[in-house]
Amino acid sequence: MMTARPPLLGIRHVALYVPDLELAEKFWTQTMGYLIEWRPDADNLYLTVGTDNLALHRRANVGSDGGRLDHIGLAVQNPDDVDAWAVRLQEAGVTPTAAPRTHRDGSRSLYFHAPDGSALGPLVQIIYHRPLSQ
């Protein structure tokens, strides 16, 4: 018997690969009105308009094959919910790509490939991140 489904707030985070981070930043901030939430280094930028998070990751070899999506993030309300999802996923036969961990910004997450009939389905992140999780 599977444990009860832990709480889930839904998709509030998308991470994209971009070849020109400066151009992407200009578009998302000046045209779309996103605010910079965090710039951990020269190749990564996290943006928000309040209850969401758009991550832009510099990647020189982004092709035209649709390989721009890094992952989607499903937000949860509490750090412990990440661990509860790890248990639930394992019970369902889904193996996380790594154990849940706490990131340098204080968020906590785990990653897994969602089954879709292919060798590796889309990469999904279950994430507790204070701005997303309130």
d(CA 109, CA 127): 4
Name the percent of the chain lying above pLDDT 70. Answer: 92
Per-residue model confidence as pLDDT tens digits over 46-94 = 999 888 899 999 988 776 555 688 889 989 999 999 999 999 989 988 8
Tell which residue, 107, 109, 12, 110, has the closest CA to residue 53.
12
Q: What pLDDT score was predicted for residue 33?
A: 86
Structure tokens at 27: 């578009």
The mean pLDDT value for 7-19 works out to: 90
Q: What pLDDT score was predicted for residue 46?
A: 95
Alpha helices in 14-105 (DSSP H): 21-26, 79-91
Domains and CATH numbers, the chain: 10-133 (3.10.180.10)
Q: Locate tokens 């599977």: which residue?
A: 2
